[in-house]
């Protein structure tokens, strides 16, 4: 019984220690991030003292699309578009696009 009790006590301390390390890491990441963003705001502020209505920098969001052949997810800007029957499909490579197109031709021939 003493061995099992020691084992559980060890596991509990390992969990507590790992949570503590993670908490300290998050605190330092937050502190560094907030210090960096405040210095960026000061550097980006106009010289004449006027404040822009939208002072936060905008980040362009990228939409992910899925390749119907291989299932790979990639940014829409990097994908190869293919329009079929009014539907826009996106492919990761020309090879996947050709596989899809040849499969449609085979299905149409068998119908």
**25 found inside a domain:** yes
Identify whether the C-beta of residue 93 lies closer than 8 Å to the C-beta of residue 72: no
Report how far residue 13's alpha carbon sits from residue 79's, in angstroms, rounded to the nearest whole number.
Answer: 48
The count of domains in the chain is: 2
Q: Give domain status of residue 48, yes or no.
A: no
> Residue 93: inside a domain, yes or no?
yes
72 and 106 part of one domain: yes
Q: Do residues 72 and 34 share a domain?
A: no
Domain contains 92 = yes
Q: What is the pTM of this model?
A: 0.42
Q: Distance (Å, rounded) from C-alpha 85 to C-alpha 104?
A: 12
Q: How far apart are the first and last CA of the chain?
A: 72
Mean predicted confidence (pLDDT) in 39-47: 55
Domain identity same for 9 and 39: yes
Give the per-residue pLDDT at 62: 74
For residue 65, pLDDT over 70 is answered with yes
Per the structure, the complete domain to which residue 23 belongs is given by 1-43
Q: Is residue 52 part of a domain?
A: no
1 shares its domain with 35: yes
Is position 58 within any domain? no
Q: Within a domain: residue 89?
A: yes
* Residues 67-97: tens digit of each pLDDT: 989 989 999 888 999 998 888 999 999 999 9
Half-sphere exposure of 46 (CA within 13 A, CB side): 8
Residue 57 lies in a domain: no
> Is the separation of the CB atoms in 89 and 68 below 8 Å?
yes
CATH number at residue 81: 2.30.170
């Amino acid at each position: 019984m003493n061995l099992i009790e020691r084992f559980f006590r060890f596991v509990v301390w390992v969990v507590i220690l790992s949570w503590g390390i993670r908490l300290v890491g998050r605190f330092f990441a937050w502190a560094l991030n907030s210090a960096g963003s405040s210095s960026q705001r000061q550097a980006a502020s106009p010289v004449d003292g006027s404040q822009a209505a939208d002072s936060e920098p905008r980040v362009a969001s990228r939409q992910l699309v899925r390749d119907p052949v291989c299932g790979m997810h990639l940014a829409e800007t990097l994908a190869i578009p293919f329009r079929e029957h009014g539907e826009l499909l996106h492919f990761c490579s020309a090879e996947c696009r050709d596989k899809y197109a040849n499969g449609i031709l085979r299905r149409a021939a068998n119908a």
